[in-house]
Amino acid sequence: MNKTGNDKPDILVIGAGAIGSFYGAILKRAGCTVSVVLRSDYDAVKADGFRFTSPLGELSWTPDQVYQPGDTPSRFPDYVLLCVKVLPGVDRAELVRPWLGEHTGLVLIENGLDIERELADAFPRNPLVSCLAFIAVSRTGPGTVNHQAYGQLVMGNFPKGFDHHCERLAGLFRDGGIDINGTDAVVGERWRKCVWNTPFNPLSVLANGADTLTMLDAPGGEALIRTLMEEVIAVAQADGYPMPDGIIEKNLSGTRAMGAYKNSMALDYLNDRPIELDAILGNVVAIADRLNVPVPHLRTVLVTLRIRQA
Amino acid sequence: MNKTGNDKPDILVIGAGAIGSFYGAILKRAGCTVSVVLRSDYDAVKADGFRFTSPLGELSWTPDQVYQPGDTPSRFPDYVLLCVKVLPGVDRAELVRPWLGEHTGLVLIENGLDIERELADAFPRNPLVSCLAFIAVSRTGPGTVNHQAYGQLVMGNFPKGFDHHCERLAGLFRDGGIDINGTDAVVGERWRKCVWNTPFNPLSVLANGADTLTMLDAPGGEALIRTLMEEVIAVAQADGYPMPDGIIEKNLSGTRAMGAYKNSMALDYLNDRPIELDAILGNVVAIADRLNVPVPHLRTVLVTLRIRQA
């Protein structure tokens, strides 16, 4: 039982940007106590909460507590939702440590591959739930968020399984109005998302923010993207996660059907925000190297982006 | 004997930008009659000629004739120097055709690989001299040029040989004050220059104008550049031009010794000028495909730049 007297869990969202404030809103709507830790938008959210526009209806909400990094929690939450970007120089274990009690579950809603391990290693006895978000949402100002579409989470324990924490969280997210796709092989789901993200996202940055159809229709573009996808699939297979037949065709036809589209990494690049290069591509190449899978095309893209960042 | 009454040849420079006006100045200094065909700088050069700063001393000169495209030559020159960039959409054969008499020699001073063929095919009976320039020179305004350093030409007939036209031109350039490195295998010399240019130039553009040391010192950078060089060398070998042992080490140590340096393609990119992508990289990949040499790293760089240009 939490401090509001019902049996809904206490949630703390760390990194309450667009993603964090959206899933916080969903859990708030499901009746949870939801607090946030904020850095840059602290004053705005403390004063006015989060203001949303969303096709799901009214999602604006006021956190139960608004913390800053360095504050001390009055009590440990049942679950911490970690929603920060995975970037070099951001030590996520240290971000989380002050807010994690002995029994607090850690819920990652973050993009990329192999992004759970450093947290699993740092907190081996806390429950660890790994989520992939399929959503179009963006922060438009301090405390203001525009949710454009979607919101589904793919959810499972890291490295595998679907325990009672997953069950409980899935029920709450569904109560709040979004779809949950539960899985006992979340790493395989991350690989499946990488089949699209790992080629398209970094390539769009190298091409200075090109949209999907520009990439596919340039001379040699579709062939290069297919080859990059084949390399991702070969690494996934060697890592123990064979991808389903026809996944390349399905990805490409889906991409064409969606029309010209700037992916999230392209938008980060165009808006001078850091890109999650390691989570999306660097970790794939690192696993390939560990498993001796040749990835010449992926490596060229990775190193070229590292040169650009240097 | 030319119209000035000596036995020096009549020269016509087509594309009298930095490169063309420099080598025109050298031949003028050697006593040739030198005219130019100009587009954008026509008025300035017609009025004031070319104004140079150069470590070689006074190179400023006034062309004997200043033509525009569409003009009719009073007589055909002994040699046409073609010094335009090799770009898609620039039909060099059509640029040259109106100025080429039955016996006019065609002299290319242009960068890249396999850039002679379309001219050899268009004018099979005219002498064809192919030159590679090793020079740092830039146009600073209409008719004004800053020659910073170097100027050596590697010269030979295309596809091979070193005939009396080469002999004569080499003598004139030497009289004008520059070094000529004569060769009977100019294609091999172009391959040798590609070992450096083909990796460094396009990569610097993908990295938004990075300098040489930034590229070498980024994580994985030197390894990628070595691999790109190995691919170029494999294609050269398959094309019949084995590169000397140790050429990679020599290129890399020379590059490090020179210090941080922005190459010409990086400068073109940073100054919003078109880049010679096909001459430097596209033609290498095309030859690789014809000869079934795998070039995954070169292809990734090429296609990524084509996407960016799309």
Domain-located, residue A5? no
Percent share of chain A, pLDDT over 70: 98
Domain-located, residue A46? yes
Query: Do B232 and B302 share a domain, yes or no?
Result: yes
Residues of A with CB under 8 A from a CB of B: 203, 206-208, 210, 214-215, 217-221, 223-224, 227, 296-297, 299-304, 306-310
Mean pLDDT of the A32-40 span: 95
Query: Do A21 and A142 share a domain, yes or no?
Result: yes
Q: Residue B161 and residue A293: Cα distance in Å, rounded?
A: 46
Q: Which of A141, A162, A184 is the last residue of a domain?
A: A184
Q: Which residues of B47-68 are buried (b: 16+ CB within 10 A; e: fewer)?
A: eebbbbebebeebbbebbbbbe
- pLDDT tens, position by position, B104-115: 999 999 999 999
Tokens of B32: 């040739």
Q: Does residue A91 sit in helix, strand or coil?
A: coil
A219 pLDDT higher than 50: yes
- State the pLDDT confidence band at B74, using cuts at 50, 70 and 90: confident
Q: Residue A282 and residue A299: Cα distance in Å, rounded?
A: 8
| Tokens 């010269």, located at residue | B155
Domain-located, residue B5? no
Query: Do B40 and B161 share a domain, yes or no?
Result: yes
Least confident of A20-34, A292-306, B3-17: B3-17
Domain-located, residue A160? yes
Query: Do B57 and B87 share a domain, yes or no?
Result: yes
Q: Residue B77 maps to which CATH number?
A: 3.40.50.720
Beta bridge partners of A109: A131
Q: What is the dihedral of CA B22, B24, B28, B33, to 10 degrees?
A: -170
What is the identity of the amino acid at A148? Q
Q: Do A220 and B306 touch (CB under 8 A)?
A: yes
Query: Do A213 and A162 share a domain, yes or no?
Result: no
Report pLDDT for B1: 41
Query: Do A237 and A200 share a domain, yes or no?
Result: yes
Q: Do B218 and A297 touch (CB under 8 A)?
A: no
Tokens of B303: 């296609």
Contacts of A210 in chain B (CB under 8 A): 307-308, 310
- State the pLDDT confidence band at A6, using cuts at 50, 70 and 90: low
A271 pLDDT higher than 80: yes
Which of A270, A300, A301, A306 is the mutation pick for testing B, counting most B CBs within 10 A? A300
Query: DSSP string spanning chain B?
Result: --TTSSSPPEEEEESTTHHHHHHHHHHHHTT-EEEEE-STTHHHHHHH-BEEE-TTS---B--S-EE-TT---SS--SEEEE-----TT--HHHHHGGG--TT-EEEEE--SSS-SHHHHHH-TTS-EEEEEEEEEEEEEETTEEEEEEEEEEEEEESSS---HHHHHHHHHHHHHT--EEE-S-HHHHHHHHHHHHHHHHHHHHHTTS--HHHHHHSTTHHHHHHHHHHHHHHHHHHTT-PPPTTHHHHHHHHHHHH-S---HHHHHHHTT----HIIIIIHHHHHHHHTT---HHHHHHHHHHHHHH-
Q: Which of A168, A184, A200 is the last residue of a domain?
A: A184
Q: Residue B209 maps to which CATH number?
A: 1.10.1040.10
- pLDDT tens, position by position, B24-61: 999 999 999 999 999 989 999 999 999 999 999 999 99
Domain-located, residue A175? yes
Q: Residue B98 and residue B116: Cα distance in Å, rounded?
A: 18
Biggest CA pair distance of chain B? 62
Query: Do A236 and A253 share a domain, yes or no?
Result: yes
Report pLDDT for A1: 41
Query: Do B177 and B81 share a domain, yes or no?
Result: yes
If we measure between CA atoms, which residue out of B11, B65, B66, B19 comes closest to residue B41? B66
Query: Do A14 and A145 share a domain, yes or no?
Result: yes
Q: Do A307 and B223 touch (CB under 8 A)?
A: no
Report pLDDT for A73: 87
Given a contact cutoff of 8 angstroms between Cβ atoms, the answer to whether A126 and A100 are in contact is: yes
Percent share of chain B, pLDDT over 70: 98
pTM: 0.90
Domain-located, residue A1? no
Mean pLDDT of the B219-227 span: 98
- pLDDT tens, position by position, B81-92: 999 999 988 999
Query: Do A100 and A168 share a domain, yes or no?
Result: yes
Q: Does residue A301 sit in helix, strand or coil?
A: helix
Mean residue pLDDT of chain B comes to 95
Query: Do A140 and A231 share a domain, yes or no?
Result: no
Distance from CA of A209 to the nearest CA of B (A): 9
A4 pLDDT higher than 70: no
| Tokens 């055909």, located at residue | B76
The domain of B102 spans 10-184
- pLDDT tens, position by position, B123-142: 999 999 999 999 999 999 99
The count of structural domains within chain A is: 2
Angle at the Cα of A260 (from A258 to A262), degrees rounded to 5? 105
Q: What is the dihedral of CA B15, B20, B24, B26, to 10 degrees?
A: 180
- State the pLDDT confidence band at A260, using cuts at 50, 70 and 90: very high
Contacts of B214 in chain A (CB under 8 A): 307, 310
Q: Do B214 and A307 touch (CB under 8 A)?
A: yes
- State the pLDDT confidence band at A95, using cuts at 50, 70 and 90: very high
Q: Which of A153, A184, A215 is the last residue of a domain?
A: A184
Query: Do B150 and B22 share a domain, yes or no?
Result: yes
- pLDDT tens, position by position, A69-86: 999 888 999 999 999 999
Domain-located, residue A235? yes
Domain-located, residue B22? yes
